[in-house]
Amino acid sequence: MSEKSAHQPTLSFEIFPPNTKVGEEKLIQTLSELKGLTPKFISVTCSNRQHNIEQSTVRLADYVQNQLQIPAVAHLPALYLSKQQVNQILTALAQKGIDRVLALRGDKIAGVPTKGDFQYASDLVSYVKSKNQAFTISGACYPEVHPDSANRVEDVLHLKQKVEAGCTYLVSQLFFDNQSFYQFQENCALAGINVPILAGIMPIVNRNQAIRLIQTSKTKVPAKFKAILEKYEHRPQALREAGLAYAIDQIVDLVTQNVDGIHLYTMNQAQTARDISQATQALFAS
Ligand code: FAD
């Protein structure tokens, strides 16, 4: 068997902390279903505007790691955090046995002054590493270039600095055109970025998501995908099936091309994660 055919990609999920009691109850149910899909890890997002990260992201990551017994990754956007706040969060995570963070800068919020301790995600990566060697640190990456970057060369060079600061793997922004991802992988390889890159996939399964995507997304929406979204905009079940099929098609292609892993943006929807996982189960089996 060739080395390529022996390669096993990982499957991981992303969830977000709900901000209502009902959302929280629904998420607990979702998580019990996600557990059965045996993801490699579940990552928990963290709002840039969140003032009590320990009660949101850390608490949910604790549930994932210690109740569900699935490795949890805590997202940590640090632009508006001080070193002291980051210390507290890292301590809280470590006390709960969570030793994985996705180190982020976070989006800039107009009119809100930053704390000044972490200008870029790489500053946070270095800081976490200096505080606690036990943390596994990952970083975000952008196959279609981060919107703040002047060009893709600059973006990849900054990404390389982030990896050299201590990221052991990268998770990509969502994309709908696999060619963007393959080109990005090639650019990373040329720049000497050798860590695994997980491909971020978001299944589009409802009208609101579809409209938001077409109107506001900075992500490239291929003509084939746009046609699906427009044709089935008013037929919920058809849109759901077509959106799932599109995501599954992306995953099959990526896995066939030896992607390191698929990171599924679940939007806290168990049904979507289950449908995708079941349709692609054998692709991830060892
Ligand atoms: P950085 O890596 O710091 O990059 C930001 C920009 O700065 C890029 O243009 C980069 O090229 C440039 N840059 C980097 N270093 C330098 C340098 N030394 N000099 C000049 N320019 C530089 N946001 C949240 O608020 N919460 C989340 O939970 C969250 N989860 C995410 C998960 C994933 C997988 C992804 C892809 C994104 C996520 N985001 C999240 C969004 C992210 O915070 C934003 O995209 C943010 O604008 C950039 O964060 P970053 O960590 O990628 O920043």
Domains of the chain: 3-284 (3.20.20.220)
Percent of the chain with pLDDT over 70: 98
Q: What is the value of ipTM here, to two decimals?
A: 0.99
At residue 233, the pLDDT reads 87
Q: How far is the CA of 148 from the centre of ligand 1 (A)?
A: 9
Write the CA distances from 188 to 58, 122, 154, 174, 191, integer angstroms: 31, 17, 12, 17, 5
Q: Which atom of ligand 1 is nearest to the CA of 46?
A: 28
CB 142 within 8 A of CB 172: yes
pLDDT single digits (tens) 190-234: 999 999 999 999 999 998 888 887 777 789 999 999 999 999 989
For a substitution probing ligand 1, which of 79, 80, 104 has the most ligand atoms within 8 Å of its CB? Answer: 104
Q: How far is the CA of 77 from the centre of ligand 1 (A)?
A: 8
Q: Give nearest CA residue, ligand 1 atom 11.
A: 155
pLDDT single digits (tens) 232-281: 989 999 999 999 999 999 999 999 999 999 999 999 999 999 999 999 99
Q: Give nearest CA residue, ligand 1 atom 18.
A: 158
pTM of the full predicted structure? 0.96
Q: Is 33 exposed, middle or buried (0-12, 13-18, 19+ CB in 10 A)?
A: middle
Terminal-to-terminal C-alpha distance of the chain: 14
Q: How far is the CA of 157 from the centre of ligand 1 (A)?
A: 14
Tokens of residue 220, six digits: 């490239």
In angstroms, the CA 57 to CA 156 distance is 29
Spatial CA neighbour of 167 closest among 198, 132, 136: 136
